[in-house]
């Protein structure tokens, strides 16, 4: 809820304006962004304000946060390696388990090289800003994640946005650049995190190939869910070899925190000395790295997790639509419901939380003003009973709030 027109003569004016905006909401009610989870009971259920709550906002797509092998690996790593590294990868922060995970990620993707990072945000910062510099061109999808835009700014390169999911607009933008140069990087996402829509990767890869542009794909929300081996949208579209740099995160399907980049380009290894956010950030903790390695092994051998994820996703979508909810028409584990303006959307989110269901809420600047939405992230961890209960609660609360189901419309919440 960042207010518009918040600039002033005092550095703190924008913070005061935000506090005033926050005051428009019931001070005693839960508020997006500062909700405290008192206890985590399982991969599907938490305790918030003393109430057992179904967690549909975690991005824990495969439910691996509570997998016994993953938790055991974390415990063993703490006993062997200690709680943290207290140093960056280029200082004292590279343990044998860091390089082992890099080898395993590269092998998992069938690539020659991999670099891991402490966060997924840092992965995008490091790769884009490490590859590009002033005089280069970064061309990003208009709906790209904040980390991609921040990375482009950090690089100093000229940044150009093309219309969301439009290979035609990308081709027009590339055609305007001087030909015969390899100083341009196209950055897209496999699945976009707000609405859950997927990129037309095959067409975009063809455009990049025609115009000699390098292609980077952020598979944060698609790794583990798409493709015969769960490698993401590029694998699902059959263009994995056409992607120069694949970036991903540990904080979604792998159930932890961190990020990675895999590539067949040998130059990737030089990022270790060029990417400032890699050089000057402490490395991932032993517990994190060991549990990610365990999660990767589970994903590699157990395709049933991916099958359950999609079965649950389709069930949740079907139940919500049967209950009268307008759901974004995309095939993705991200299930989004358009709701309209900010304050009514926050009130709807609060009602759902009081009813025992936690979902994410997308507010500006994550979405345009007047286009706020609720976002549920499906998981393989849910039982059919939990899916049905969540759908019943969401549909009931949405109906009571007056969200209109109107095909092709914004479906705003009625006033008041």
Catalytic residue among 102, 136, 189, 219: 189
SS3 (DSSP) at 177:
coil
Angle in degrees, 0-180, between the axes of helices 286-301 and 68-81, rounded to the nearest 10:
150
Q: How many CA atoms lie within 13 A of 124 on its CB side?
A: 25
- Cα–Cα distance, 414 to 416 (Å, whole number): 7
The residue assigned the tokens 């910062």 is 125
Active site residue 145: yes
HEC states along 49-79? Answer: CCEEEEECCCCCCCCHHHCHHHHHHHHHHHH
Token pair of 389, please? Answer: 């209960």
Active site residue 218: yes
Contacts of 238-242 with C-beta under 8 Å, sequence gap 24+, read 238/202, 239/201, 239/202, 239/205, 240/109, 240/110, 242/205, 242/208, 242/209, 242/215
Catalytic residue among 58, 60, 193, 411: 193
The residue assigned the tokens 């540990």 is 250
Catalytic residue among 44, 58, 59, 124: 59
Catalytic residue among 67, 111, 173, 221: 221
157 C-beta neighbours (distance < 10 Å), count: 23
SS3 (DSSP) at 356:
coil
Active site residue 28: no
Catalytic residue among 218, 219, 237, 386: 218
114 C-beta neighbours (distance < 10 Å), count: 22
Token pair of 157, please? Answer: 């390169």
What's the DSSP call for residue 127? Answer: H
Active site residue 59: yes
Q: Which residues pair with 114 in a beta bridge?
A: 262
Catalytic residue among 67, 111, 113, 145: 145
Active site residue 98: no
CA nearest neighbour of 383 among 307, 306, 298, 308: 308
Query: Are the CB atoms for 164 and 198 separated by under 8 Å?
Result: no
Residue-level length of the chain: 416
Catalytic residue among 67, 113, 173, 252: 252
Active site residue 411: no
Please give the full DSSP string across 164-187, using - where no structure is assigned. Answer: TT-HHHHHHHHHTSPTT---EEEE
Active site residues: 59, 145, 189, 193, 218, 221, 252
């Amino acid at each position: 809820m960042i207010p518009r027109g918040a600039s002033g003569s005092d550095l703190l004016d924008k913070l005061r304006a935000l506090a005033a905006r926050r005051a428009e909401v019931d001070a005693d009610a839960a508020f997006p962004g500062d909700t405290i989870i008192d206890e985590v009971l399982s991969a599907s259920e938490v305790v918030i304000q003393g109430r057992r709550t179904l967690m549909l906002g975690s991005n824990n797509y495969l439910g691996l946060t509570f997998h016994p092998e993953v938790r055991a690996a974390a415990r063993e790593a703490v006993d062997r390696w200690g709680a943290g590294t207290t140093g960056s990868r280029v200082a004292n922060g590279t343990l044998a388990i860091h390089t082992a995970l890099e080898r395993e990620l590269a092998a998992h993707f069938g690539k020659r090289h991999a670099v891991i990072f402490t966060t997924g945000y840092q992965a995008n910062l490091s790769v884009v800003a490490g590859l590009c510099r002033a005089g280069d061109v970064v061309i990003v999808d208009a709906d790209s994640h904040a980390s991609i835009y921040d990375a482009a700014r950090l690089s100093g390169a000229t940044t150009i946005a093309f219309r969301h999911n439009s290979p035609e607009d990308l081709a027009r933008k590339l055609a305007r650049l001087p030909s015969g140069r390899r100083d341009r990087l196209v950055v897209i996402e496999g699945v976009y995190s707000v609405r859950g829509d997927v990129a037309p990767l095959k067409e975009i890869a063809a455009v990049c190939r025609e115009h000699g542009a390098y292609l980077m794909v952020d598979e944060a929300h698609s790794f583990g869910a798409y493709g015969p081996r769960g490698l993401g949208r590029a694998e699902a579209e059959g263009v994995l070899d056409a992607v120069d740099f694949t970036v991903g995160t540990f904080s979604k399907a792998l159930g932890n925190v961190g990020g990675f980049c895999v590539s067949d380009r040998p130059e990737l290894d030089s990022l270790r000395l060029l990417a400032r956010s890699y050089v000057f950030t402490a490395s991932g903790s032993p517990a994190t790295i060991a549990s990610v390695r365990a999660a990767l092994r589970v994903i590699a051998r157990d395709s049933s997790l991916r099958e359950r994820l999609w079965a649950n996703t389709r069930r949740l979508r079907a139940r919500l639509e049967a209950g009268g909810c307008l759901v974004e028409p995309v095939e993705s584990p991200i299930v989004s419901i358009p709701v309209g303006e900010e304050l009514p959307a926050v009130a709807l989110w609060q009602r759902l939380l009081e009813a025992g269901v936690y979902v994410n809420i997308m507010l500006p600047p994550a979405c345009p003003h007047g286009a706020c939405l609720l976002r549920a992230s499906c998981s393989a961890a849910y039982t059919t009973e939990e899916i049905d209960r969540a759908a019943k609660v969401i549909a009931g609360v949405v109906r009571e709030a007056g969200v209109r189901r109107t095909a092709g419309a914004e479906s705003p919440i009625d006033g008041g």
